[in-house]
Amino acid sequence: MRIGLVACDILEPEFEHLIGNDPDFVHKEYVEFALHVYPDEMRETLIGKVNALKGKVDAVLLGYGICQSLGGFTNAVDVPTVMFEGDDCICILLGNKEYVREKKICTGTWFSSPGWVREGLDGLIKEMRLDSVEGMDPMVFVDMLFGSYERCLYIDTGIRCVDGCDCLERSKEFADKLRLRHDERKCDLKAFEDMIRKVKELAIS
C-alpha cells in the first residue's frame, strides 16, 4: 500500500501525531498555509501536487477543508483522493456542529489550534496580508481587525508542544498581545482517524 498526503501545514502537528511512523504513507507534503488567501491559485497548485503523484501512490489524502475553492476536488484529479468535508481547518478539527456552537458562544472568536499557535502573530500578519502596505506597521492593521474580537479559543487536540514550545502557553501569549480573553477546549482527532482509514480502504480497492 502506497499513500500520499498533501496537507496544509497548519494541520501538520495532528497528522504527524497520527501517521508520523506509518510506513503506508510513502509521501508527505505540507503546503504553506497562507496559500488559501488565493483560492484559485490554491486549487490549481493542489491539483498539480496530487497529479504529480500519479503512478507513485495508490491513493492520496488531501489534508484541507473546502477552503473556498476545493469543492469537487476529488473529481478534478487523476489520482484516487479523499478529503475532509469541513469548510476550513477549524471546522475539520471541531466538526461543523461544535464550530457553529463556539461561534454562537462568542462571535468574535479567534480559533487557535497547535498549528496556528506555531505560526503565531507573524503567521496571522502573513495570512491576512497585513504586511503588504509599504511603510506601515502591520500591527496597526492587526489592532483594527481585532477590534471586534473578544476571545482566543485554544483547541487542545492532545498535542501540547510543537517546536519545543508549550502550545497552551504560547496561545495565551498571543491572546495577551491582542488583549483577548483566553479560553480553551479539548478536541479529539476522530475526523483525522476516519480519513486515514478511508484513504487506506481506497488504496486497497
Where in the chain are all domains bearing CATH 3.40.50.1860?
3-90+189-204
Q: Residue 26 burial by CB count (10 A; 0-12/13-18/19+): exposed, middle or buried? A: middle
Q: Which fold has domain 3-90+189-204?
A: Rossmann fold (3.40.50)
Predicted local confidence at residue 203, as pLDDT: 97
Mean pLDDT by 10 residues, the chain (205 residues): 96 95 97 82 96 98 93 96 94 95 96 92 78 77 86 94 88 94 96 97 95
DSSP 54: B
pTM, rounded to two decimals: 0.90
Cβ–Cβ under 8 Å, residues 195 and 20: no
Predicted local confidence at residue 124, as pLDDT: 78
**32 vs 77: CA distance, rounded Å:** 20
